[in-house]
A and B are shown apart, each in its own frame.
Chain A
Amino acid sequence: MENITSTIQAVPLNHYILLSAIIFTIGVIGVLVRRNAIIIFMSVELMLNAVNLLLAAFSSYSGDASGQVFVFFIMALAAAEVAVGLAIIVMVYRNTSSIDINILNRLKW
């Protein structure tokens, strides 16, 4: 444990923040500009992981383990979410022969 903490702390906190911000932004932009459902899904995962990274970094810097516990929660949750999400995408593909989300505009008044 000591080891990991010190390893994490070897990099200044600012760099973590910067990195996660960049990853998060890449994720957001990916979600916004791409139309392929799988790519969007991956971008969402990217955003989640950016947050995970940040949580882990803050947790070790502040000496509080609960941040890292949250990371585990999020990873477990993300796995479940991926299962459901991919299933939806598969269903969408079966029904529309496409995974372009712009086709899915029926969800309106």
Chain B
Amino acid sequence: MIDLVWLIPLLPFIGFLINGLGRNILPKPLIGTIASLAVIGSFAISLSIFLTFDAAQPQVIHLFDWINVGSLSIPFAFQIDQLSIMMLLIITGIGSLIHIYSAGYMSHDAGFGKFFAYLNLFVFFMLLLVMGSNYVIMFIGWEGVGLCSYLLIGFWYSNGAYADAAKKAFIMNRIGDLGFLLGVFLIISTFGSVSFTEIFPKAAGMVSGDATLILITILLFIGATGKSAQLPLFTWLPDAMAGPTPVSALIHAATMVTAGIYMIARSNILFALSPVTLDIIAVVGLLTAVVAAFIALTQTDIKKVLAYSTVSQLGYMFLGLGVGAFTGAFFHVLTHAFFKALLFLGAGSVIHAMSNEQDMRNMGGLRKKLPVTFLTMLIGTIAIAGLPPFAGFFSKDEILAHVYEHNKLLWIIGLFGAFLTAAYMFRMMFLTFWGNFRGTEDQKHHLHESPVSMTFPLIVLAILSMVGGFMGVPHALGGHHWLNEYLGPVLAASNNILPALSLEHATEYMLMGLSVGGVIISIIIAYVKYVSKGYVPKEEELQSGINKLSYNKLYLDELYTAIIQKPLDILSTFFFKVVDKSGIDGLVNGLGKVSIEASKTLRLLQTGNVGFYIFAMVIGIVAVLVYSFIII
């Protein structure tokens, strides 16, 4: 089966070609079927590989030599191991569901064929990202998904604001990409190779805290902050909600944004040997988690709430990585993919029913009209809030337990963020599904449950959100943490370096109790405020006090415009008008002017007075004579 691994990315790529070329010719149902089948086919192959793969060593499948220059050799090759298999399952599995969902969601859009072509292309690049056997192939996928993200965010490009959001996403990602690229260069010069199978054994022999390793990991982490929307580069992700909702679910929740975590988990040995970087990652992740949660508290756009929630959850994953809980972070990637894809698709279903209304202030009371959407989203919300035994509880708890052991202060802040998560998520649920309907009559009339192609993925994801956590039941709860064992071969080297979790079971129970208790209290507060009192946020309240800071996203966009974009544009104009036009070009033109002026002055010597000419001639002759006879 492993010989067919090249088919996994090829199938979506073929789907992209067929749909891209035939987007105006093929009928819509056929396009949707081709696109979905391509991804489902990849999923089937991935699944069979998952079931048959039992090698302890990563399997490398060499396709062809891509770049060979001097001693630098970059093969186009795939690597299959436990980590990439898990990612393959997530990408193709959730990808298939979202393709099916999109067939219903996008059915009225004029750009149907284009949409599926892009979506297939995205899956192709995402698969390259996780299957690449070296950093450069990973980088192809890394930038390729950025491209697809750009295309899909700007899918409705006629709206200038959407096009701007797409552009912003691409550029902010590129800032991170430069860090990634420099990191790759440093890896090449340190290890003489880009292939994982050559780098990691060499790295394992280096001492912890090696300066080069720290620099490499910091540069790679800069790459991750761009792709995975961490401070200070996260502001593109909320704007990315301009894209169609299935895109938000697939790209901006389940897969692409977790690429940074995948990359760090893939390079775990490099990071495990760089404690300084790990600390930086933990702090950045935690800050992002709390800041994003804080912003999410006052957002009124249902997708924006979910976007900030994604940023916040990604922050938790980085926090987990930072404290050395690689399995925990990756566990959270998986569970988050389930429940966040679910929530986004649910939100899409709501938006679909509400005739493209996204403002929660105009919703309310939808639970009766959209029962399936409501129930599945409720499951997703409980999962993300972290109530047992749903998926989010296990993964988040594992991260927090590691954080607790690592540093108590980080843990307190992290726990506080988890409470905020529960608060804003249930706020969203209460505003949307409880209370009275606040939209227009037209919308009310139009309200309907979504078609089966949309509710089926919701149900599947809801089930996964319920049971997904059982793949990592901690020992304290009587499990044996299957995921940890499964990923063992990939993380073995760094597990030898990093201390294992050594908390007493009693302490773990205490941590779980605290977080569950806090979450329940948060939910009750939200319930009282938004259901019992029926509070609906008003614009003027959002624009006052601390709400103002949160509602306006801490003014980060304005800050970046003021300190980066504006100065660069001013610099550009300055360079163009002053340095280039007046300065350098002025100098060049000046040379021309000087010769013209000089000739104007010199020609005055030509007086026309013959006597003067003769006199000058005689003087000249005398000078020559004096020079040749006396001086020489």
Contact = CB atoms under 8 A, between A and B. Distances in A.
Consider the complex of A and B and state whether they touch directly, i.e. have CB atoms less than 8 Å apart.
yes
Interface of A: 28, 31-32, 35, 101-102, 104-109
Contact of B618 (A32, A106, A107): A32
A32 B603 contact: no
The 6 closest A-B pairs by CB, nearest first: A108-B608, A105-B608, A109-B603, A108-B606, A107-B608, A105-B609
A105 B614 contact: no
A106 B608 contact: yes
Contact of B610 (A28, A104, A109): A104
Contacts of B618: 28, 32
B609 to A, nearest CB: 5
Given A28-B618, A32-B618, A101 B611 contact: yes
Contacts of A102: 609-611
Contact of B614 (A32, A108, A109): A32
Interface in B601-617: 603-604, 606-611, 614-615
A17 B37 CA distance: 115
Given A28-B618, A32-B618, A109 B611 contact: no
Given A28-B618, A31-B614, A32-B615, A109 B609 contact: no
Nearest to A31: B614
10 contacts: A32-B611, A101-B611, A102-B610, A102-B611, A105-B607, A105-B608, A105-B609, A106-B608, A107-B608, A108-B608
Contacts of A104: 608, 610
Nearest to A28: B618
Nearest to A105: B608
B629 to A, nearest CB: 14
Interface residue range, chain B: 10 to 19
Contacts of A35: 611
B606 A109 contact: yes
Nearest to A104: B610
Contacts of B608: 104-108
Interface in B583-624: 603-604, 606-611, 614-615, 618
B248 to A, nearest CB: 78
Nearest to B613: A107
A90 to B, nearest CB: 17
Contacts of B614: 31-32
Nearest to B609: A105
Contacts of A32: 611, 614-615, 618
A17 B618 CA distance: 20
A106 B610 CA distance: 10
A35 B607 CA distance: 16
A17 to B, nearest CB: 14
B102 to A, nearest CB: 82
B604 A109 contact: yes
A68 B260 CA distance: 103
B603 A101 contact: no
A30 to B, nearest CB: 11
A9 to B, nearest CB: 27
A101 B610 contact: yes
Contacts of B610: 101-102, 104-105, 107
A108 B607 contact: yes
B139 to A, nearest CB: 68
B615 to A, nearest CB: 6
Q: Point out which of A101, A104, A109 has the most chain B C-beta atoms below 10 A from its C-beta.
A: A109
B599 to A, nearest CB: 10
Given A102-B611, A104-B608, A109-B603, 8 more contacts: A35-B611, A101-B611, A104-B610, A105-B607, A105-B608, A105-B610, A107-B610, A109-B606
A91 B610 CA distance: 17
Contacts of B607: 105, 108
A57 B610 CA distance: 33
A106 B611 CA distance: 13
Residue among B607, B609, B611 with most chain A CB within 10 A: B611
A88 B340 CA distance: 107
A102 B612 CA distance: 9
A34 to B, nearest CB: 9
A50 to B, nearest CB: 14
A101 B608 CA distance: 10
B267 to A, nearest CB: 77
A105 B611 CA distance: 10
A31 B615 CA distance: 9
Interface in B225-280: none
A108 B607 CA distance: 6
Nearest to A37: B610
A31 B611 CA distance: 8
A31 B614 CA distance: 8
Nearest to A44: B614
A51 to B, nearest CB: 14
Residue with the greatest number of chain A CB neighbours at <10 A, chosen from B604, B608, B615 = B608
Nearest to B622: A28
A106 B120 CA distance: 86
Interface in B334-392: none
A39 to B, nearest CB: 12
Contacts of A109: 603-604, 606
A109 to B, nearest CB: 5
Nearest to B610: A101
Nearest to A108: B608
B612 to A, nearest CB: 9
B600 to A, nearest CB: 9
Contacts of B609: 102, 105
A49 B618 CA distance: 18
A71 to B, nearest CB: 22
Contacts of B606: 108-109
Nearest to A107: B608
A32 B618 CA distance: 9
A31 B603 CA distance: 24
B12 to A, nearest CB: 79
Nearest to B615: A32
Nearest to A33: B611
A32 B611 CA distance: 6
Interface in B68-124: none
Contacts of A28: 618
Contacts of B611: 32, 35, 101-102
A35 B609 CA distance: 11
A101 B606 CA distance: 16
A105 B615 CA distance: 15
A106 to B, nearest CB: 6
A104 B611 CA distance: 10
A33 B347 CA distance: 108
B347 to A, nearest CB: 84
